[in-house]
Amino acid sequence: MQVAFLGLGAMGAPMAQRLVQGGHTVRGFDTAPAARERLAGIGGSPFDTAAAAAEGADAVITMLPDERIVESVLFGDQGAARAMRRHALLLEMSTSDADWIHTCAERLSSAGVRVMDVPVARGVREAAAGELLVMAGGDAADMDAARPLLGCFARAEDVLHVGPRGSAIRLKLINNYLSMVNMVVAAEGLSFAALAGVPREMALRVLGATPAGRGQLLTNFPRKVLRGDVTPDFPLRLGLKDLSLALNLGARLGAPLHLGSAARQTFGLAARWGRAEEDCTAMLLLLEDLARVPHEQPAVDSNPAGT
């Protein structure tokens, strides 16, 4: 396929190279001359404007820092939109505002351009190896058209059609939310251990061997609440008690435990909602109660990893 790749930075450059290696013709644009030169060195064709890169392309891919830059590259004076052919496929792979993809699609609808949100997860190393996790939102027919390109970036099982347009970027933002919050939790835990006089190596050994470090989504959640089982292995009542004890220690040591303080408030609601004696993983049900989200029925196999 003829592909215009707009944005040849840390992620875009190896992704463009994967397309070249996959036999596609890559026409690239980036504001940085060095990035355009690198594309030429790997067999792509660099252009000085996004419009020139998009001329005659079957698909246009944007991999840019945010929606403001995407808007400029698509709709600016030398933007790709003015050169995209009718029925071309736009794969917006940037991490942008959740509503931007709908605005973008509306602005391109009169030109007959098909638009999908296709963010990715994982990093630069996986981009170079073709081992990204690709999430796609859009029509099934457009997904079929996009697969030959998306298959250059990821293994077949890691190219996921999330749902209609807009669903993929929402899932990406949720993923990044969880990732960044976990970043703070991990930092809180390690700094707490240091203040408590626990050697870093010992803290890592213990935390890495329990759900604290391995993550609840891969351990307790699949084994309990996602199976519809909230009989208490460890009830929310005791979770509140232990969290309170830890926060008391943290207060004496001067540890910054901001997320822990917020979590204690949520644990404290369990009794009022009649869930204090349920398993700690029933925190999911408590938050769904608060958000007035219907509880989903357990999946047939919500524990594929056997944890």
DSSP 64-104: -SSHHHHHHHHHSTT-GGGTPPTT-EEEE-S---TTHHHHH
133-137 and 120-121 beta bridge pairing? antiparallel
Q: Both tokens of residue 236?
A: 């929310």
* Residue 182 CB neighbour total at 10 angstroms: 14
Would you say 29 and 58 are in contact if contact means Cβ atoms under 8 Å apart?
no
Give, to the nearest 10 degrees, the angle between helix 236-253 and helix 167-195. 50
Q: Both tokens of residue 232?
A: 């208490």
Please list the active-site residues: 172
What's the full length of the chain, in residues? 307
Would you say 11 and 85 are in contact if contact means Cβ atoms under 8 Å apart?
no
